[in-house]
């Protein structure tokens, strides 16, 4: 059936669509269809994981990371994400799961597999499975139909196995209620903030500065720096030589017709009378009547733009209600339907949308069309010239690279080729050199180069570069005098924090003895007590903002322990807090949220159950990894 299915389709689609499909299966490996064709990297209960399978899994993990991080992905990040281990772990887990599925009698018939692939939208054209699209997308991702079908089959098996393992997960009514109460309980607190920068009169001695510097030397360490020289191959510099012929223009126009299709558009003005979407009937009718009065003024010949400036409540008011040209789908449906049905110069009856009542005046109506070759020529010429200029720039970089066999020749060959050789300032990997468009990308490449070695041709932004490092300065700890000003500032901040914490501790003890924050502050005018009002645990604290540590401490307070055991050292500062009131959520809210909470808790339980089951499966299996494989 699968072979017959492949013989009945054709066309292409962009790579990213396949990524959506493949990522779901990627960490399950490439299947066992070619297990005997390559040496193994590991065995799982006697089943081999081949080098080919590992390479495919590794590639796909990398592709997933590239999709997330783009050009920021580098060797250090690949090491940090431990891509090798991720790929191997995914293959091991898949093998274990496949073995378990077989043991439990789970299987996927060919007919079911075929139907699952046919239904994947990325492989369809006009609603039908398409052979050419299927093969191209797989090829772009280093997959064959056989390997993808193996992956798809395993994905279905894994989903079936997961359902089998997690079917006994349950969530009780009591658990739902406890979660609802936990998530929706609200509190009202008093708090006193102790801001370190308010303690300005701290004493700073020379000995303190020296002690602080000695204890924190590493914090003043300078970053490594390098100096580079480079040649930039900017396509703009080659654009004058990028000639585009009339034949090339005609060919591009013929092959890229979709690019020159112009959509139907309308240019209009409007006058808006705002009405809330959930407004009552009277408010809606009052606004409609007002709109009707202004419509009559417009239809009687008064200047529409002036009426908009006087009466409109929309953001285009100052421009006389001018909206410019827009496509049908760019406006809300009632507005578009009316505007696109009107003749030029017409003024509409009031039209209701989610924003209110509109009066519309159509000024132009452009039907959908295709640009002529003559009209498209400037656009094509510019685009093709840009493409050619980039190719010429790249060829120039290749020419210099090919004749430069060592770093010493870079200066001479650049000069002989009439190219500008730029010497940068000293720069760090974070900042990069001055005068370079994408300095951080430049620095990433530069810091990987050995001294005097010429880089590969590197694309940064729209230009190509050849880079050579001519000087390196390692990181170092500066002498005290060089950073004395910074050390002084840091020492003062440290002492201010100590003073603030000491004051907060004393005030908390006083509050405990007095019974409340208010009683403790009664004779101290410097203490400012603030209240939050009722707030739940996901709220932003009024006057403070988002602070998870503070909120965690707040919700530990009880009616029996209204004050905390210790000063709260939160993300935003030091606080002494006091519970004023704690309220459980309303019972009727549980009935509304019950279903959603149940589903969330069930999903969490199923995930935890499944993860535990897989971990136990690993622990009780015989897994052998080729010696030093991950470390190679």
pLDDT band per the 50, 70, 90 thresholds, residue 523: confident
Long-range contacts of 255-262 (CB under 8 A, 24+ apart): 257/370, 260/370, 260/371, 260/375, 260/376, 260/379, 261/368, 261/369, 261/370, 261/371, 262/366, 262/368, 262/369, 262/370, 262/371
pLDDT band per the 50, 70, 90 thresholds, residue 11: very low
Backbone angles phi, psi at 628, to 5 degrees: 60, 15
Q: Return the higher-pLDDT residue of 71 and 122.
A: 122
Residue 570 has pLDDT above 60, yes or no: yes
CB 461 within 8 A of CB 440: no
631 in a domain, yes or no?
A: no
- The reply to whether 193 and 97 lie within a common domain is no
Burial of 25 (0-12, 13-18, 19+ CB in 10 A): buried
**Residues 305-314: what's their mean pLDDT?**
95
CATH number at residue 410: 3.10.50
For 80-104, what is each residue's pLDDT tens digit?
889 889 999 989 998 998 898 888 8
- The reply to whether 337 and 424 lie within a common domain is no
Residue for token pair 């951080």: 440
List b or e across 419-440, with b for residues whose CB sees 16 or more CB atoms inside 10 angstroms. bebeebeebbeeebbeebeebe
pLDDT band per the 50, 70, 90 thresholds, residue 386: very high
Domain end point (choices 367, 398, 421): 367
Residue 327 has pLDDT above 90, yes or no: yes
Domain end point (choices 367, 398, 415): 367
- The reply to whether 67 and 143 lie within a common domain is yes
- The reply to whether 8 and 136 lie within a common domain is yes
Q: Which helix (H) or strand (E) holds 198?
A: none
Cα(629)–Cα(48) distance, integer angstroms: 14
pLDDT band per the 50, 70, 90 thresholds, residue 2: very low
Cα(371)–Cα(8) distance, integer angstroms: 35
Burial of 73 (0-12, 13-18, 19+ CB in 10 A): middle
CB 220 within 8 A of CB 483: yes
Cα(366)–Cα(283) distance, integer angstroms: 36
Cα(363)–Cα(266) distance, integer angstroms: 8
**Residues 62-72: what's their mean pLDDT?**
83
Side-chain-facing half-sphere of 241: CA atoms under 13 Å: 11
- Domains: count for the chain: 4
Residue 128 has pLDDT above 90, yes or no: no
113 in a domain, yes or no?
A: yes
- Residue range(s) defining the domain that contains residue 40: 2-168
Long-range contacts of 82-86 (CB under 8 A, 24+ apart): 83/58, 84/58, 84/630, 85/630, 86/27, 86/61
Cα(432)–Cα(449) distance, integer angstroms: 14
258 in a domain, yes or no?
A: no
- The reply to whether 542 and 428 lie within a common domain is no
What is the per-residue pLDDT for 34?
38
pLDDT band per the 50, 70, 90 thresholds, residue 631: low
Q: Percent of the chain scored above 70 by pLDDT?
A: 93
Residue 294 has pLDDT above 90, yes or no: yes
For 451-494, what is each residue's pLDDT tens digit?
999 999 999 989 999 999 999 999 999 999 999 999 999 999 99
What is the per-residue pLDDT for 35?
36
Cα(461)–Cα(194) distance, integer angstroms: 48
Residue 115, CA distances (Å) to 101, 109, 139, 284, 547 in order: 21, 10, 21, 51, 50
- The reply to whether 72 and 157 lie within a common domain is yes
Cα(219)–Cα(520) distance, integer angstroms: 40
- The reply to whether 276 and 384 lie within a common domain is no
Long-range contacts of 597-602 (CB under 8 A, 24+ apart): 597/176, 597/179, 597/180, 597/183, 598/171, 598/176, 601/171, 601/175, 601/176, 601/179, 602/169, 602/170, 602/171
Residue 27 has pLDDT above 60, yes or no: no
Domain end point (choices 473, 501, 522): 473
Side-chain-facing half-sphere of 209: CA atoms under 13 Å: 14
What is the per-residue pLDDT for 396?
96
593 in a domain, yes or no?
A: no
For 240-269, what is each residue's pLDDT tens digit?
999 999 999 999 999 889 899 999 999 999
What is the per-residue pLDDT for 164?
87
CATH number at residue 299: 3.10.50.40
- The reply to whether 237 and 322 lie within a common domain is no
Residue 16 has pLDDT above 60, yes or no: no
What is the per-residue pLDDT for 632?
56
Bridge partner residues of 469 (DSSP): 228, 451
**Residues 274-295: what's their mean pLDDT?**
92
DSSP string, 467-536: EEEEEEE---PPPGGGGHHHHHHHHHHHHHHHHHHHHHHHHHHHHHHHSSHHHHTTT-TT---EE--SEE
CB 26 within 8 A of CB 147: no
CATH number at residue 126: 1.10.4030.10
Question: Measured in whole angstroms, how far is the alpha carbon of residue 21 from the centre of its chain?
Answer: 19
Residues contacting 417, CB < 8 A, separation 6+: 399, 400
Q: What is the pairing mode between strands 568-569 and 351-353? A: unpaired
Per-residue HEC secondary structure of 305-327 comes to HHHHHHHCCCCCHHHCCEEEEEE
Cα(24)–Cα(151) distance, integer angstroms: 10
Cα(361)–Cα(375) distance, integer angstroms: 29
What is the per-residue pLDDT for 469?
96
Residue 20 has pLDDT above 90, yes or no: no
109 in a domain, yes or no?
A: yes
What is the per-residue pLDDT for 176?
95
Maximal C-alpha separation, the chain? 92
Residue 13 has pLDDT above 80, yes or no: no
- The reply to whether 437 and 492 lie within a common domain is no
Long-range contacts of 502-507 (CB under 8 A, 24+ apart): 503/194, 503/199, 504/192, 504/194, 504/567, 504/574, 504/575, 504/576, 505/567, 507/192, 507/194, 507/576
For 137-151, what is each residue's pLDDT tens digit?
888 777 888 988 988
What's the mean pLDDT when you consider all of the chain? Answer: 88
pTM, two decimals, is: 0.53
- The reply to whether 465 and 501 lie within a common domain is no
- The reply to whether 493 and 562 lie within a common domain is yes
What is the per-residue pLDDT for 313?
94
Could you count the other beta carbons within 10 Å of the beta carbon of residue 248? 14
CB 103 within 8 A of CB 92: no
626 in a domain, yes or no?
A: no
CB 338 within 8 A of CB 351: yes
Cα(460)–Cα(187) distance, integer angstroms: 53
497 in a domain, yes or no?
A: yes
Tokens of 378: 């400037």
- The reply to whether 38 and 110 lie within a common domain is yes
47 in a domain, yes or no?
A: yes
Please state the length of the chain. 632
pLDDT band per the 50, 70, 90 thresholds, residue 52: confident
What is the per-residue pLDDT for 582?
94
């Amino acid at each position: 059936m699968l072979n017959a299915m492949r013989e009945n389709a054709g066309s292409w689609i962009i790579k990213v669509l396949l990524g959506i499909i493949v990522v779901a299966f990627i960490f399950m490996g490439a299947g066992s269809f070619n297990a005997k064709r390559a040496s193994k990297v590991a065995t799982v209960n006697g089943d081999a994981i081949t080098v080919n399978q590992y390479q495919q899994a590794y590639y796909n993990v990398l592709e997933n990371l590239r999709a997330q991080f783009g050009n920021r992905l580098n060797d250090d990040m690949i090491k940090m994400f431990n891509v090798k281990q991720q790929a191997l772990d995914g293959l091991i887990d898949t093998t274990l799961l496949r073995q378990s599925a077989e043991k439990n009698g789970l299987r996927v018939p060919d007919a079911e597999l075929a139907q699952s692939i046919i239904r994947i939208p990325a492989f369809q054209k006009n609603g039908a499975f398409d052979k050419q699209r299927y093969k191209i997308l797989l090829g772009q991702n280093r997959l064959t139909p056989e390997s993808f079908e193996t992956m798809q089959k395993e994905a279905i098996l894994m989903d079936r196995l997961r359902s089998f393992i997690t079917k006994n997960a349950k969530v009780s009514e009591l658990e739902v209620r406890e979660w609802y109460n936990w998530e929706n309980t609200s509190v009202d607190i008093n708090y006193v903030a102790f801001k370190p920068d308010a303690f300005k009169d701290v004493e700073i001695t020379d000995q303190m500065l020296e002690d602080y510097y000695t204890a924190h030397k590493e914090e003043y360490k300078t970053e490594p720096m390098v100096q580079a020289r480079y040649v930039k191959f900017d396509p703009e510099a080659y654009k004058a030589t990028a000639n585009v012929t009339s034949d090339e223009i005609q060919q591009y126009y013929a092959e890229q017709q979709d690019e020159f299709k112009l959509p139907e558009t309308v240019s209009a003005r409007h006058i808006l009378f705002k009405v809330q979407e959930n407004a009552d009937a009277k408010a809606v009718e009052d606004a409609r009547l007002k709109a009707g009065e202004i419509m009559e003024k417009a239809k009687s010949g008064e200047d529409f733009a002036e009426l908009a400036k006087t009466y409109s409540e929309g953001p285009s008011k100052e421009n006389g209600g001018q909206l410019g040209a827009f496509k049908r789908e760019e406006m809300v449906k009632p507005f578009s339907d009316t505007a696109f049905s009107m003749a030029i110069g017409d003024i509409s009856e009031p039209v209701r949308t989610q924003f209110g009542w509109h009066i519309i005046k159509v000024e132009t109506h452009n039907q959908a069309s295709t640009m002529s070759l003559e009209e498209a020529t400037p656009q094509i010429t510019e685009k093709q010239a840009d493409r050619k200029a980039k190719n010429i720039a790249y060829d120039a970089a290749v020419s210099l690279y090919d004749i430069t066999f060592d770093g010493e020749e870079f200066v001479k060959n650049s000069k002989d080729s009439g190219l500008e050789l730029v010497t940068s300032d000293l720069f760090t990997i974070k900042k990069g050199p001055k005068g370079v468009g994408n300095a951080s990308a430049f620095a990433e490449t530069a810091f990987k180069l050995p001294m005097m070695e010429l880089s590969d041709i590197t694309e940064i932004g729209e230009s190509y570069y050849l880079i050579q490092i001519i000087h390196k300065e390692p990181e170092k700890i500066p002498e005290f005098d060089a950073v004395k000003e910074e050390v002084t500032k840091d020492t003062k901040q440290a002492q201010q924090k100590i003073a603030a914490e000491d004051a907060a501790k004393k005030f908390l003890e006083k509050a405990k003895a007095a019974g409340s924050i208010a009683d403790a502050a009664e004779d101290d005018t410097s203490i400012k007590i603030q209240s939050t009002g009722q707030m739940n645990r996901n709220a932003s604290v009024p006057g403070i903002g988002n602070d998870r540590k503070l909120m965690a401490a707040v919700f530990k307070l009880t009616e029996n322990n209204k004050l905390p055991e210790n000063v709260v050292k939160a993300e935003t500062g030091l606080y002494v807090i006091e519970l004023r009131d704690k309220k459980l959520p309303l019972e009727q809210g549980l009935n509304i949220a019950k279903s959603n909470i149940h589903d969330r808790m069930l999903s969490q339980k199923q995930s935890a159950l499944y993860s535990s089951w897989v971990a136990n499966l690993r622990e009780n299996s015989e897994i052998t990894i080729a010696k030093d494989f991950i470390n190679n």
